[in-house]
Structure 1
Amino acid sequence: MRCVAPFLVLLIAGLSACSGSAPPPAAPAATAAQGESVSRVGDVSIRANAMQTSALSAPVAGQYGISRADNLVMLLVAVRQGPEAQEVALPARITASATDLRGRRQNIEMRELRSGDLLDYIGTAEVTAPDTLRFDVTIVRENGATSTMQFSRDFYPR
């Protein structure tokens, strides 16, 4: 069975828990459909995704220690090493910012989120939907290797 990145499992669980057994509303589905951004350097993969925190279930938001709000976006970054089915979490220093269509830039304070052997990084940014945020992420692993990612996500009123 293919090993799915744990943060994706929580992301999917959060989206489904918010909508019960009915399909999620159109706007969150469009955001989720944009998928994660993935960067691979050798055997290291970096996965990032962003979503409105109002799309998270209350238990998931509580586990992450963040508020659920339409104007709050969660950036989630995971750094893993190894083959896809056997990846292990790598510690890293993550810095990130989000820039909206008007050019307003926000620094995103990233923090560690540990769950057993898993380690992810989360932070939040504000958004006034509808808008597009461009995320700039810099990842510095313990060995000093540096990677950067840039991706955009669209956000809609909920």
Structure 2
Amino acid sequence: MRTLVAPILGALLLGPALLAGCDSQPAPRVASQAAVPQEATLEVGDTRIRASVLQTSMLNDTVARQYGIERGDDIVMLLVGLREGAPAEEVSVPATVTATVTDLRGRKQVVEMHELASGELVDYVGTLQVSLPDTLAFEVSIARPGKPDSTMRFSREFFSR
């Protein structure tokens, strides 16, 4: 998967796994599924759209600093990537990505999305503050030049760690 999602999530998931083998103590248990990144996918023609959501406290300091993302249990990051091509030869697809999130109380927030470039690949990222615990309903709209608009809808639960 040639996308920024892979380096960010790889650093996030591999680090604790390596450290778990360095101690005689059992590895810490994950408090919830929200502690691990959760991905929603949509295929539109030959374009694959991936949206990942996670609490930014799960990012390591280096990755958070590199991408200018504040870390916290109550800060959720939405990362959206659009790709075309074979998995080993994927290229980014330009788009305008907008997102709204609705919490269980019915409050709606607009997620300010911006481009996040790494080499030739571009993803779209935004963060939002949440009150934990909560279930958030995401609506991600994708507008691509010369193509019909697409919408992704999915929900995720978030808890204090």
User: Could you tell me the TM-score, scaled by structure 2's length?
Assistant: 0.87
**Equivalent in the alignment of 1:83:** 86
Task: Please say if 1:147 is aligned against 2:150.
Answer: yes
Choose 34-43 or 133-142, whichever is displaced more.
34-43
Structure whose CA Rg is larger: 2
The Cα of 1:19 is off from its aligned counterpart by 7.3
How far does the alpha carbon of each residue in 1:12-65 deviate from its partner, in whole angstroms, 9 at most, with x for none? Answer: 31244467612564136x126573100001110000011110110001111221
**Alignment map for 1:92-111 (pairs within 5 Å):** 92-111=95-114
| Matched position secondary structure for 1:77 | strand
The Cα of 1:143 is off from its aligned counterpart by 2.4
What is the alpha-carbon root mean square deviation over aligned residues?
2.0
Unaligned runs of 5+ in 1: none
| Matched position secondary structure for 1:80 | strand
- Contact 1:92 1:139 (8 Å CA) reproduced: yes
**Equivalent in the alignment of 1:14:** 12
- Contact 1:18 1:56 (8 Å CA) reproduced: no
Unaligned runs of 5+ in 2: 21-26
| Matched position secondary structure for 2:31 | helix
**CA, structure 1 residues 24+74, in 2 after alignment: closer, same or farther (shift >3 Å)?**
farther
**Equivalent in the alignment of 2:45:** 42
**CA, structure 1 residues 142+43, in 2 after alignment: closer, same or farther (shift >3 Å)?**
same
- Contact 1:56 1:68 (8 Å CA) reproduced: yes
**Equivalent in the alignment of 1:5:** 3
**Alignment map for 1:53-92 (pairs within 5 Å):** 53-92=56-95
Count of residue pairs brought into register by the alignment = 155
Aligned mates of 1:70, 1:108 — CA distance in 2 = 17
The Cα of 1:8 is off from its aligned counterpart by 2.6
- Contact 1:27 1:155 (8 Å CA) reproduced: no
**Equivalent in the alignment of 2:31:** 27
